[in-house]
A and B are shown apart, each in its own frame.
Chain A
Amino acid sequence: GAGVSQSPSNKVTEKGKDVELRCDPISGHTALYWYRQSLGQGLEFLIYFQGNSAPDKSGLPSDRFSAERTGGSVSTLTIQRTQQEDSAVYLCASSLAARNNQPQHFGDGTRLSIL
Chain B
Amino acid sequence: EDQVTQSPEALRLQEGESSSLNCSYTVSGLRGLFWYRQDPGKGPEFLFTLYSAGEEKEKERLKATLTKKESFLHITAPKPEDSATYLCAVQASGGGADGLTFGKGTHLIIQP
A residues apposed to B, CB below 8 Å: 4, 31, 33, 35, 40-48, 50, 55-56, 58-59, 91, 93, 98-99, 101, 103-109
Contacts and interface: CB of A to CB of B under 8 A. Distances in A.
Interface string B35-73: 010000111111001010000000000000000000000
Contact of A104 (B51, B100, B105): B100
Interface in B76-112: 87, 89, 91, 96-105
A56 B98 contact: yes
Kindly list the 5 A-B residue pairs having the minimum CB-CB distance in the complex, ordered from nearest: A45-B99, A106-B43, A43-B102, A42-B102, A42-B104
Contacts, number: 68
B97 A103 contact: no
Contacts of A50: 98
Given A43-B89, A48-B98, 13 more contacts: A4-B43, A31-B98, A33-B98, A33-B99, A35-B102, A40-B104, A42-B105, A56-B99, A101-B32, A101-B49, A103-B49, A106-B36, A106-B45
Contact of B31 (A45, A48, A55, A101): A101
Contacts of A31: 98
Interface of B: 4, 31-32, 34, 36, 41-46, 49, 51, 87, 89, 91, 96-105
A93 B98 CA distance: 12
B45 A42 contact: no
Contacts of B4: 42
Given A48-B97, A58-B96, A58-B97, A42 B43 contact: no
Contacts of B100: 33, 35, 43, 45, 104
Given A41-B104, A101-B49, A107 B97 contact: no
Contacts of A56: 96-99
A109 B41 CA distance: 8
A41 to B, nearest CB: 7
B97 A104 contact: no
Contacts of A108: 41-43
